[in-house]
């Protein structure tokens, strides 16, 4: 388990790279916001080089005020730290 101000990240080694983004209802009250942030995470991850692991990114409350660049930096940092 790894953590940043915007995410909790659970990682496990596997033969293929699979990732999930969880936007909790306690953080994002409206379904449109939850879906928007989940899609944002998947789109950022699409253009990054990922390792052979399975991982779950869970958004924290601070993500509500974060920019796309901050989210991208946090995801990149977590992926580098987990390898």
CATH of domain 2-82: 3.30.230.10
- 15: tokens are 């033969």
What per-residue confidence (pLDDT) applies to 13? 87
Give the per-residue pLDDT at 15.
84
Q: Angle 31-55-43 (CA atoms, 0-180°, nearest 5)? A: 55
State the pLDDT at residue 9: 94
For residue 16, the model assigns a pLDDT of 83
pLDDT, residue 7, reads: 93
**Domain map (residue ranges) of the chain:** 2-82
Burial letters 4-26, b for 16+ CB under 10 A, else e: bebbebebeeeeeeebebbbeee
Q: For residue range 34-48, what is the model confidence (pLDDT) as tens digits?
A: 999 999 999 999 988
User: Can you list the residues of the chain whose pLDDT is less than 70?
Assistant: none
Q: Taking the model in full, what pTM does it have?
A: 0.89
């Amino acid at each position: 388990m790894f953590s940043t101000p915007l995410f909790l990240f659970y990682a496990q080694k596997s033969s293929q790279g699979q990732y999930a983004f969880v936007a909790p209802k306690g953080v994002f009250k409206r379904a449109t916001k939850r879906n928007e942030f989940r899609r944002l995470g998947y789109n950022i991850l699409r253009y990054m080089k990922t390792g052979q692991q399975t991982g779950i990114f869970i958004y924290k409350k601070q993500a509500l005020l974060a920019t796309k660049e901050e989210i991208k930096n946090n995801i990149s940092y977590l992926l580098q730290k987990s390898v």
